[in-house]
Amino acid sequence: MYYSVKANSNQSIIKILSKLGSGIDVVSGEELMRALAAKVAPKKIIFEGVGKTKNDLILAIKKGIKQINVESIEELLLINKTAKSLGKIANVGIRINPNIDAKSLKKISTGNKKDKFGIPTTDLNQVVIIAKKSKNINLKGISCHVGSQIFSLSVYEKVFKKIKETARFFINNNINIKNLNLGGGMGFDKTKNKKFQIKGFKKLVDKHFRNLPYEISFEPGRYIVAESGTLIAKIITTKKSGQSNFIILDAGMNIFLRPALYGAHHNIVSIIKRRASINYNVAGPICESSDIFGKNVFLPKQYTGDYVAIQDVGAYGSVMSSNYNSKELAAEILIYKNRFTIIRKRQKIKDLISKDIIPRWLGDFH
């Protein structure tokens, strides 16, 4: 397993999973630096991502990471050129675009032919030609990731068949494929109405790969960490608008973006237990109509100063937060049994303001 850092990139989370035996999957040079700062061994790191810069590739090649998964013909040529300039040989994999519908949200689909990710299978002959000519790359893997929040095992079966077909293609062209990365995207439903069939998934993997001579890997993110996170928010005020009861929290889409961006639903519970139950719209303080965490949420009667908990925000929570409306980023606290530690301090507005630079010549501006 290679944990997908983009789901939650705090170094403490990376370190925990690494110590438990997981490899690490990164999608940017910055995520690679985070993984290295968390003392992850380079040979346990795979580098995905459609927009790797030359500096990203230099870092990855110098550090000798396990594999760079290539997303375009141009990138493949750049890796060979960069590795040659460094006097190195880079281990690479090819991320294919299989043109498979993940049957998920369009915004998190990555395997259709119109998506920006991966190399179309129609271009693999060109990959073979380049790989055989290039002296500074070692093509040893195939990767395929078609999206997130996938619950349909039939989608994975299509992916597995396409990966096996691609591996045979390369082997028939005298390229020795050793690693097959079967992607991630295992579904996690925050409202608990659906559950990913992990046992059925295992049977599917065994069916297709049990007796084949490949190292098989996956890159789950959300499935590993989503349930581990809870957002605690304080009620700033309550209000009534027409027939709707609102509670306004001190956390908004700047802290947790997914409901506004994807229409994602997360369970919201009251910290204070009271008997009366009221239908609320739970909103944040941001000046956007989409800054809503949930509508028609039944909670005990809430008052200004009370707290609510938004559940299952361990994935794509803090990593997607922002300073919109000049709001500070929230603190993060890691809890294990009877221990707890602040693993990211709350941002201070004075530090945020200090990042601005006002040109001296604005003093003469009229």
- Render pLDDT for 25-51 as a digit per residue (tens, 0 to 9): 999 999 999 999 999 999 999 999 999
**pLDDT tier, 147 (very low <50, low <70, confident <90, very high otherwise):** confident
Where in the chain is CATH 2.40.37.10?
Answer: 229-346
Q: Check pLDDT > 90 for residue 253.
A: yes
Q: DSSP for 328-347?
A: PPPPEEEEETTEEEEEEPPP
Q: DSSP for 172-193?
A: HTT----EEE----B---TTSS
Q: CB of 50 within 8 A of CB of 97?
A: no
Between CA 70 and CA 130 the distance in angstroms is 13
For 317-330, write each residue's pLDDT tens digit. 999 999 999 999 99
Which residues does 129 contact at the CB level (< 8 Å), separation at least 6?
none
First to last CA, the chain: 60
Of 95, 37, 73, 61, the C-alpha closest to 219 is 95
**pLDDT tier, 116 (very low <50, low <70, confident <90, very high otherwise):** confident
Which tokens is 46 given?
């795979």
Q: Give burial (CB, 10 Å; 0-12/13-18/19+) of 125.
A: exposed
Is residue 144 among the annotated active site residues?
no
The CATH architecture one would assign to domain 2-225 is Alpha-Beta Barrel (3.20)
Other residues' Cβ atoms within 10 Å of the Cβ of residue 86: 14
Mean of the pLDDT values across residues 219-236?
A: 95
Chain-centroid distance, C-alpha 202: 22
Of 311, 326, 256, the C-alpha closest to 284 is 256
For 74-91, write each residue's pLDDT tens digit. 999 999 999 999 999 999
Q: Check pLDDT > 80 for residue 271.
A: yes
Q: Give burial (CB, 10 Å; 0-12/13-18/19+) of 67.
A: buried
Highest mean pLDDT (candidates 53-62, 117-126, 183-192):
53-62
Of 31, 11, 59, 46, the C-alpha closest to 183 is 46
Q: Pick one of 3.40.50.620, 1.10.260.40, 3.50.20.10, 2.40.37.10 as the CATH number of 229-346.
A: 2.40.37.10
What's the pTM value of the predicted model, to 2 decimals?
0.92
Which residues does 363 contact at the CB level (< 8 Å), separation at least 6?
none
Mean of the pLDDT values across residues 88-95?
A: 96
b/e code 161-198 from CB counts within 10 Å (16+ = b): ebbbebbebbeeeebebbbbbbbbbbbbebeeeeebbe
Element (H, E) at 233: strand 230-241
Between CA 318 and CA 330 the distance in angstroms is 8
Rg, C-alpha atoms of the chain: 23
Catalytic site residue from 287, 353, 357, 358: 287
As a 3-state breakdown, the chain gives helix, strand, coil percent values, each rounded to 5, of 35, 25, 40
Where in the chain is CATH 3.20.20.10?
Answer: 2-225
